[in-house]
Structure 1
Amino acid sequence: MPTTHTHELDSTPNLTVLFGKAVLTGFTRHGSALPSTVYSRSPVAIDPGHLSAYSKVCGFRLTDQLPITYPHILGFPLQVKLMTDNDFPFPLVGSVHVANRITQLRPLYSTDALRLQVHVENLREHPKGHQFDMITTVSVGDSVAWHSTSTYLRRTGSGGSSGPSEVVVRQPRAVWTVPDDIGRRYADVSGDRNPIHLHPLTAKLFGFPRAIAHGMWTKARCLAAFEGRLPEAYTVDVKFKLPVLLPAKVGFATNRTEDGWGFELFGARTAKPHLTGEIT
């Protein structure tokens, strides 16, 4: 295995600066290997006000237990720093978050002092380009309590046709109205100010007719609907399908499985899929 190079950070990377760097320098990147860098930060203390704001935007109850998706936004600045380093082979702009898997080994609380680590691995070919996995690990003391895999697709060509979009035919358990400002509200708590989420005009610059919701907001919103029914340790695995164009009405459906739950988020009128997930 290649030698890793761990860099201990003493503060959270500035996402505004990093996104600016991505826009100004990121389009010309190329390479064939992922960096061996590991970014680490500790101790990371939880800001109760920020936790409360995140919970409200995503629909979670206000408690001292962290929603399972909350550590993702703590690690996200480290991911962006890694993806905007000069030795990263692909531009951040245009890299698409296509799947996310989180495993919680035990609950995390607002009083915990956390250690974050982020690295990238598993570069592989895809019919439409290349995929790679951003790995985030959260530890308390010497024990890993939470880890995630965020899979990104970097398109390098048109690839083959994926065929017609699947249509979900199950009846929704609930229908949610997603407001047109949810991208800006989630950006305020996550720091992810990708212009495709903020305003119709900036989204159109990247080929979208309207602003789109963050994929990790849709995942968090679905998991908020399961509160009170999940164990202390579990894995939730989602695949992001078609974007949610804002504003929107979406259907949410669940089904029991042998190991836990399945769930889907889809257009309330079109039945086209936005997200599919499994909880085990």
Structure 2
Amino acid sequence: MTPAAPTPPTSPTPPTNTTHTLTGVPALAPLLARGALLSPLKRPRPDADFPRTRLVLPGLRVDLARLAAYERVCGFPTGADALAVTYPHVLGFPLAMRLMSGRDFPLPLLGLVHTSIGIIRRAAMPASGEYELTTYVEGLVPHRRGTEASVVTEVRAGRDLVWESRSTYLARHRTGVPAHPEASGQDQDRQPLPTRAEWHLAGDVGRRYGAASGDRNPIHQHPLTARLFGFPRAIAHGMWTVARCLAEHGTPDAAVVRAEFRAPVPLPGTVTYGAQGGRFELRGGAGRRPHLSGEVGPYPAT
């Protein structure tokens, strides 16, 4: 039986009041620094206000050398005139960081956890094309471990919406809601998918992905900087793990992708890639601890 395609993320009318058009890609390093400095001042809660601005970046062309570096580190084929299904996230990430590092974004950037991403790609996207990016915060929702923000990125070619994503980011804090005792073991007990490959990850994966994507978060760079944030070792970027899985799995030109980030992948380390039908996952080297689970299918969903 063919597994059902993942449900596309919904696209409600964004709760925004203003549109701000950018003249260039924001630099990530100052945004990370600003977000870190403002983090101690934030008091997250699901009913907090959030920025209502749409950031728009028109006339964007892809740096082909940077794209090739991204393809190599993630395992995608190189040289084709096509963007990998996850690469528009890299293009839109500086806009998302500009929103999330601002004073009016209610969740602290430090400790913010990327928990899931849903992607719709409506057609193949040439690497030589010209695109317009739009990013906005869709809203906040309560989570059993804190407050989760939903951030939307849209990519247009001319007037056509060709790609969109919806990422959720969790700020952990006390909620007064008791945790379910079975929640921690739910993923552990799930039957693993058939193993398709075992990957031995080098300690520099985070640095190589950071150089290609621009996301040089200290927790991904080196054990010394990761320890400052409570990690004994550097961890892989969540978006590298989903990109690496999709490079192995393959995606149709028009695709729907859904992935949930379940546990950090320590570097260096060994993981097993499992897949069956449209589902894929990463687990710890012994095949027990789930790091990532996801599914991919055609768009529109059948």
Distance between the aligned counterparts of 2:71 and 2:192, measured in 1? 30
Which of 150, 153, 159 pairs up with 1:142? Answer: 159
Q: 1:166 to 1:8 in 2, by over 3 A?
A: same
Stretches of structure 1 lacking an aligned partner (at least 5 in a row): none
- Comparing 263-272 with 143-152, greater Cα deviation is found at 263-272
Q: How far does residue 271 in structure 1 lie from its aligned partner after superposition?
A: 1.8
TM-score by length of 2: 0.87
Residues 115-264 of structure 1 correspond to what in structure 2 (within 5 A)?
115-157=132-174, 160=179, 162-164=183-185, 166-167=188-189, 168-227=191-250, 230-256=251-277, 261-264=278-281
Q: 1:170 to 1:113 in 2, by over 3 A?
A: closer
Q: 1:30 to 1:5 in 2, by over 3 A?
A: farther
Distance between the aligned counterparts of 2:112 and 2:16, measured in 1? 26
Conserved? CA contact 2:272–2:287, under 8 Å: no
Distance between the aligned counterparts of 2:261 and 2:128, measured in 1? 32
Aligned residue in 2 for 1:69: 86
Q: How far does residue 194 in structure 1 lie from its aligned partner after superposition?
A: 1.1
Q: How far does residue 3 in structure 1 lie from its aligned partner after superposition?
A: 4.7
Conserved? CA contact 2:193–2:275, under 8 Å: no
Q: 1:94 to 1:47 in 2, by over 3 A?
A: same
Aligned residue in 2 for 1:93: 110
Distance between the aligned counterparts of 1:151 and 1:231, measured in 2? 24
Conserved? CA contact 2:222–2:233, under 8 Å: yes
Conserved? CA contact 2:193–2:276, under 8 Å: no
Stretches of structure 2 lacking an aligned partner (at least 5 in a row): 1-13, 298-302
Distance between the aligned counterparts of 2:194 and 2:85, measured in 1? 27
- Comparing 204-213 with 19-28, greater Cα deviation is found at 19-28
Aligned residue in 2 for 1:57: 73
Distance between the aligned counterparts of 2:234 and 2:257, measured in 1? 26
Distance between the aligned counterparts of 1:138 and 1:118, measured in 2? 9
Q: How far does residue 231 in structure 1 lie from its aligned partner after superposition?
A: 2.1
Q: Deviations over 1:55-95 (max 9, x none)?
A: 00100001110000000000000000001111111111111
Where 1:163 maps in the other structure, the secondary structure is helix
Distance between the aligned counterparts of 2:139 and 2:52, measured in 1? 11
Q: How far does residue 201 in structure 1 lie from its aligned partner after superposition?
A: 1.2
Distance between the aligned counterparts of 1:245 and 1:213, measured in 2? 6
Counterpart residue type for residue 111 of structure 2 = G
Counterpart residue type for residue 56 of structure 1 = R
Q: Deviations over 1:18-45 (max 9, x none)?
A: 1111122222123611210111101000
TM-score by length of 1: 0.94
Q: Deviations over 1:92-129 (max 9, x none)?
A: 11110000111100011111100000001131111111
Q: How far does residue 144 in structure 1 lie from its aligned partner after superposition?
A: 0.2
Which of 111, 120, 127 pairs up with 1:110? Answer: 127
Q: How far does residue 180 in structure 1 lie from its aligned partner after superposition?
A: 0.5
Query: Taking CA–CA contacts closer than 8 Å with sequence separation of 6 or more, which of the two structures ends up with the larger relative contact order?
Result: 2
Identical-residue share of aligned pairs (%) = 42
Aligned residue in 1 for 2:59: 43
Where 2:105 maps in the other structure, the secondary structure is coil
Calculate the aligned-residue CA RMSD, in Å.
1.5
Which of 11, 14, 21 pairs up with 2:24? Answer: 11
Distance between the aligned counterparts of 1:87 and 1:57, measured in 2? 35
Distance between the aligned counterparts of 1:103 and 1:187, measured in 2? 24
Residue correspondences, number: 274
